[in-house]
């Protein structure tokens, strides 16, 4: 069904029928429920805190029963959260905060632990590039310029194998 057909169908329904359909969607589909729950009660600070906790747990897992879990370092966890936030329409400042936090926590981990997987560095570069693109497209570069510069400087200080790729991104920006 096209969007035009859907509009035509909805125009034929009266208010009560529309309300019934929306309630049915709300009860049947978790994404619809999640969307409406967020729209009417955003609690952006809480979801930001939860997202940061989940991301940091990927690099610094919480000890369970006296044993330390091994870090998983999965970029996909942060990417899923970011995609979900974008879908919900979360404030771009919060989305950007999560994007940059993901890179910063990975850098904190790599400063304390030697990382031999080249994929880690490629993954963090992809995250950095996506974050910078998102920041520019939302016109909030001035608000995050310092954090972007700090992330770049940390790649240089830690001598990341792909620091020159980060530098290429930085060179496009006004520093």
- Residue 139 is predicted with a pLDDT of 95
Residue 53, pLDDT above cutoff 90: yes
Residue 161, pLDDT above cutoff 90: yes
Q: Is 139 left (phi over 0), alpha (psi -120 to 50) or beta?
A: left
Residue 112, pLDDT above cutoff 70: yes
| Contact (CB, 8 A) for 32 and 25 | yes
Give the span between the Cα atoms of 75 and 62, in whole angstroms: 18
Mean pLDDT in residue range 44-68: 86
Rounded to a whole number of angstroms, the distance between the first and last alpha carbons of the chain is 48
Q: Which helix (H) or strand (E) holds 9?
A: helix 3-12
Question: Structure pTM?
Answer: 0.83
**Helix axes of 141-157 and 163-172: crossing angle, nearest 10 degrees:** 150
User: Which segments of the chain are extended strands (E)?
Assistant: none
Residue 133, pLDDT above cutoff 90: yes
| Contact (CB, 8 A) for 86 and 134 | no
Mean pLDDT in residue range 42-54: 92
| Contact (CB, 8 A) for 36 and 26 | yes
pLDDT band (50, 70, 90) for residue 64: low
């Amino acid at each position: 069904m096209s969007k035009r057909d859907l509009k035509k169908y909805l125009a034929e329904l009266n208010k009560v029928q529309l309300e019934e359909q929306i309630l049915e969607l709300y009860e049947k589909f978790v994404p619809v429920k999640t969307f409406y729950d967020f729209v009417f009660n955003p609690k952006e600070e809480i979801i930001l805190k939860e997202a940061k906790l989940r991301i940091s747990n990927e690099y610094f897992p919480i000890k369970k029963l006296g044993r330390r879990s091994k870090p998983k370092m999965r970029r996909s966890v942060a990417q899923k959260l970011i995609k979900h936030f974008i879908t919900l329409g979360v404030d771009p400042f919060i989305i950007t905060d999560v994007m940059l936090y993901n890179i910063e926590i990975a850098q904190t981990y790599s400063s304390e632990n030697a990382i031999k997987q080249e994929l880690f560095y490629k993954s963090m570069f992809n995250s950095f590039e996506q974050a910078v693109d998102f920041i520019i497209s939302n016109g909030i570069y001035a608000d995050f310029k310092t954090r972007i510069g700090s992330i770049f400087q940390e790649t240089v200080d830690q001598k990341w194998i792909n620091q020159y790729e980060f530098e290429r991104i930085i060179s496009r920006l006004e520093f």
